[in-house]
């Protein structure tokens, strides 16, 4: 129904007008791009409209105010649906400094540039690229899994900040998902944990359209989704027709009244077009409708058939009168409450502000552990545990846990008052993810997006299970912390199934991810210090299971050199080095032992500790040259992992001591001898490369 300025429309007619505006904008955007998915946005337009216009606590003028409801489009291929909502609600853009800008987040002209270079409307929703996008979605299942972290954050924030007469946090999280999300395993992991934790502030809306790329879901999917989620401990309700605004409103009210579990709303939808023959899957998954089909569909809507990106008179005003006014009033009320809260609870109010801008509290790096020289040393995971607990005492919003491996990864917060995050008791700072590495990583992202500083832990070999979410953290530029222990063939008797070989190289390959593998307890302390100052970079901290000697820093360079990514740890007493030994993590002390042997034999050697390639590459060319002089071609790298990537540092004439195969099941010392991870083998390689470079 097209608007006529001479006709006063009823509320139902305005609803239909707005819904059809969403649909036609989506059709036109996909058609102009000649790429995208128009079917799902068209089918789900009534659902998104009902949620945003009548339910969502969201102020378009300030899309980042802390107590807003979160909306996650987990079916990221339907991105035009979200872009259209941002456009019609006239959401304002916010820059990375959290200063509201005068321009709109998505203008009609941005929709016209859907999927084009530098457009605010990329192929899938991207956090930090377009204001109003709560998380990057695209890989199916990631959005719903991340939404669990957002809901957990809401519960934790309420426990931490709320006081009598001051309900600072009570937001809800809504995630729109489809059959693809339901099939991906990460959604099952996340839904299971959400049900167990009784996250009553979480609502998933399932588009039950029975269509995937290959065809009808009956070819590969016959789950009874309702029964499955009831089994997870969710409340399940159903909307039989996606177009029924009254029943949709009732379903959302049912969610809001449910206080003991999350809610799944199953919405039955059907993609309808202008002509009967168009009832196929192409438009739902990756093909424009075509100009003729669009004209027929617009005719069905009573729309100007040849108008492109047409927004009828009254649509903007209707959204402003709905979500706009409601969200504005809710935010203003919250901001007024915040002013009173600042007077009564100034310390908590300061914490809230620091969290929102990712700042550290005063004294965040005080009372840290001291690690004196010790030949026997301390395990990397044990050193990390002491450091982590010290920092967590100083930073109240540093929380985290492990995928059922806290006793092994040593990542439990043990100081008084740390507590556990459990169903019905959400104030604890120890999270328990169960054996769900993939969901854990996604949930950590949801916590980070909610401005909590989360960490999650596991064995390095299982980073493979977490990789999709780690990659998205890097893409979103959020400071999630991943801790991986049991970092090499040093796992020993557990054998090659548990011995990470290629994982280090693969993590280093992810753009924007900081990978840190400290060589002793003091480097571990500096690694934590470096990580906690990151605001837009996720970090992976990789530590050893076995004890590593704590180096004498009065004899060798201070561990603070870690902040440069790589630094000269030990050097020739005079003149330029003849050979450079490079290592990370548990192999640093082996390089130091080899250095001492070479020194005793009159060979000028240098040891470079390289805990982070990424950080080193960000240093100036002059600094990098000072650490690795280009005219010193005799070089040896040592790492109990794949040699892949070390070639850029050792050069053509260097040697790489590392893994070229999988490991084996045996005690550590036997493995080190078999694969050449001994001071003697390093000395031999150093002499060989030195002779070759002369």
Inform me whether the pLDDT recorded for 279 exceeds 70.
Answer: no
Report the SS3 class of residue 65: coil
Report helix, strand and coil shares of the chain as percent, to nearest 5: 45, 15, 40
Per-residue pLDDT, averaged over 627-635, amounts to: 96
Inform me whether the pLDDT recorded for 271 exceeds 70.
Answer: no
pLDDT grade for 693, boundaries at 50, 70 and 90: low
Residues assigned a catalytic role: 437
Inform me whether the pLDDT recorded for 49 exceeds 50.
Answer: yes
What would be the CATH architecture of the domain defined by 374-549? 3-Layer(aba) Sandwich (3.40)
Cα–Cα distance measured from residue 69 to residue 114, given in angstroms and rounded to the nearest whole number: 26
Long-range contacts of 615-621 (CB under 8 A, 24+ apart): 615/514, 615/516, 615/530, 615/563, 615/564, 615/565, 615/566, 616/564, 616/565, 616/566, 617/565, 618/565, 619/564, 619/565
Residues of the chain with CATH 3.40.50.970: 11-331, 374-549
Tokens 């050893």 belong to which residue? 544
Task: Spell out a b/e string for 618-637, using b for 16 or more CB atoms within 10 Å of the CB, else e.
Answer: ebeeeebeebbeeebbbbbb
Share of the chain above pLDDT 90, in %: 89
Bigger pLDDT: 377 or 216?
377
Cα–Cα distance measured from residue 281 to residue 37, given in angstroms and rounded to the nearest whole number: 10
pLDDT grade for 273, boundaries at 50, 70 and 90: low
Kindly report the number of other CB atoms within 10 A of residue 375's CB atom.
10
Of the options 3.40.50.300, 3.40.50.1820, 3.30.390.10, 3.40.50.920, the CATH number for the domain spanning 564-693: 3.40.50.920
Those residues whose C-beta lies under 8 Å from the C-beta of residue 325, and which sit 6 or more positions away, are none
pLDDT tens, residue by residue, 472-515: 999 999 999 999 999 999 898 999 999 999 999 999 999 999 99
How far, in whole angstroms, is CA 528 from its chain's centroid?
Answer: 19
pLDDT grade for 31, boundaries at 50, 70 and 90: very high
Q: Are 428 and 439 in contact (CB under 8 A)?
A: no
- What does the CA dihedral 670, 503, 507, 517 come to, rounded to 10 degrees? -20
Bigger pLDDT: 273 or 33?
33
Per-residue pLDDT, averaged over 637-654, amounts to: 96
* Closest alpha carbon to 171 in 157, 184, 185, 181: 157
pLDDT grade for 209, boundaries at 50, 70 and 90: confident
- Backbone φ and ψ of 657, nearest 5°: -95, 110
Kindly state the tokens that stand for 465. Answer: 């299970």
For all residues of the chain together, what is the average pLDDT? 94
Kindly state the tokens that stand for 195. Answer: 């049900």
Residues of the chain with CATH 3.40.50.920: 564-693
Inform me whether the pLDDT recorded for 277 exceeds 50.
Answer: no
DSSP run (H or E) holding 398: strand 398-402
* Residue ranges in 127-215 assigned as alpha helix (H): 142-161, 179-183, 185-196
DSSP of 304-336, one letter per residue? -TT-SS---TTHHHHHIIIIIHHHHHHHHHHHH
Per-residue pLDDT, averaged over 405-420, amounts to: 96
Those residues whose C-beta lies under 8 Å from the C-beta of residue 688, and which sit 6 or more positions away, are 655
Among 77-86, 207-216, 261-270, the minimum mean pLDDT is found in 207-216
Fold classification of 11-331 (topology level): Rossmann fold (3.40.50)
What pLDDT was estimated at residue 276?
47
């Amino acid at each position: 129904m097209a608007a006529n300025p001479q006709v006063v429309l009823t509320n139902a007619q305005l609803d239909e007008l707005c819904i059809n505006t969403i649909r036609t904008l989506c059709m036109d955007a996909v058609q102009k791009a000649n790429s995208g998915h128009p079917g799902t946005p068209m089918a789900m337009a009534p659902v998104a409209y009902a949620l945003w216009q009548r339910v969502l606590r969201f102020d378009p003028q300030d899309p980042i105010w802390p107590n807003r409801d979160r909306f996650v489009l987990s079916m990221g291929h339907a991105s035009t649906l979200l872009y259209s909502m941002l456009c019609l609600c006239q959401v304002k853009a916010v820059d990375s400094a959290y200063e509201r800008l005068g321009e709109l987040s998505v203008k009609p002209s941005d929709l016209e540039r859907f999927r084009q270079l530098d457009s605010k409307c990329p192929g899938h929703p991207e956090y930090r690229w377009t204001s109003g996008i709560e998380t990057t979605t695209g890989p199916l299942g990631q959005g719903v899994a991340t939404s669990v972290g957002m809901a957990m954050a809401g519960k934790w924030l309420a426990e931490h900040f709320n006081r009598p007469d001051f309900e600072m946090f009570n937001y809800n999280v809504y995630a729109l998902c489809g059959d693809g999300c339901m099939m991906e395993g990460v959604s099952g992991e996340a839904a299971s944990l959400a049900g167990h934790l009784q996250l009553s502030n979480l609502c998933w809306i399932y588009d039950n359209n029975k269509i995937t790329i290959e065809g009808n879901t009956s070819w590969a999917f016959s789950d009874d989704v309702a029964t499955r989620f009831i089994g997870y401990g969710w409340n399940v309700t159903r909307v039989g027709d996606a177009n029924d605004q009254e029943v949709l409103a009732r379903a959302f009210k049912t969610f809001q009244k449910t206080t003991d579990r999350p809610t799944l709303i199953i919405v039955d939808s059907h993609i309808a077009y202008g002509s009967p023959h168009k009832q196929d899957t192409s438009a739902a998954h990756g093909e424009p409708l075509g100009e003729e089909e669009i004209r027929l569909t617009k005719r069905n809507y009573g729309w100007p058939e040849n108008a492109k990106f047409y927004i009828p008179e009254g649509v903007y005003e209707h959204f402003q009168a709905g979500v706009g006014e409601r969200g504005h009033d809710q935010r203003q009320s919250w901001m007024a409450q915040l002013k009173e809260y600042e007077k009564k609870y100034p310390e908590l109010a300061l914490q809230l502000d620091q969290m929102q801008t990712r700042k550290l509290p005063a004294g965040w790096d005080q009372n840290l552990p001291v690690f004196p020289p010790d030949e026997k040393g301390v395990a990397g995971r044990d050193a990390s545990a002491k450091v982590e607990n010290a920092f967590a005492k100083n930073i109240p919003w540093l929380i985290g846990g492990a995928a059922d491996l806290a006793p092994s990864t040593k990542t439990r917060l043990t100081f008084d008052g740390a507590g556990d995050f459990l169903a019905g008791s959400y104030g604890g700072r120890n999270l328990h993810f169960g054996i769900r590495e993939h969901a854990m990583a996604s949930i950590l992202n949801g916590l980070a997006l909610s401005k909590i500083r989360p960490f999650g832990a596991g064995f390095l070999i299982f980073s493979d299970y977490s990789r999709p979410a780690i990659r998205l953290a890097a893409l979103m530029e959020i400071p999630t912390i991943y801790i991986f222990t049991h970092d090499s063939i040093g796992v020993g008797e557990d054998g090659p199934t548990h011995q990470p070989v290629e994982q280090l190289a693969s993590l280093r390959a992810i753009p924007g991810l900081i990978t840190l593998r400290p060589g002793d307890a003091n480097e571990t302390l500096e690694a934590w210090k470096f990580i906690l100052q990151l605001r837009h970079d996720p970090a992976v901290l990789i530590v050893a299971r076995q004890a590593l000697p704590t180096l004498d820093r009065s004899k060798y360079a201070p561990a603070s050199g870690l902040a440069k990514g790589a630094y000269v740890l030990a050097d020739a007493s005079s003149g330029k080095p003849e050979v450079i030994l490079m290592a990370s993590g548990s192999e640093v002390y082996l390089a130091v032992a080899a250095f001492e042997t070479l020194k005793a034999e009159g060979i000028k050697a240098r040891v470079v500790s390289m805990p982070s390639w990424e950080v080193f590459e960000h240093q100036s060319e002059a600094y990098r040259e000072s650490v690795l002089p280009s005219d010193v071609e005799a070089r040896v790298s040592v790492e109990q992992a794949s040699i892949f990537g070390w070639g850029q540092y050792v050069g053509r004439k260097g040697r790489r001591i590392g893994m070229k195969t999988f490991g084996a099941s045996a005690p550590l010392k036997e493995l080190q001898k078999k694969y050449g991870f001994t001071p003697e083998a390093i000395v031999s390689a150093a002499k060989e490369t030195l002779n070759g470079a002369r």
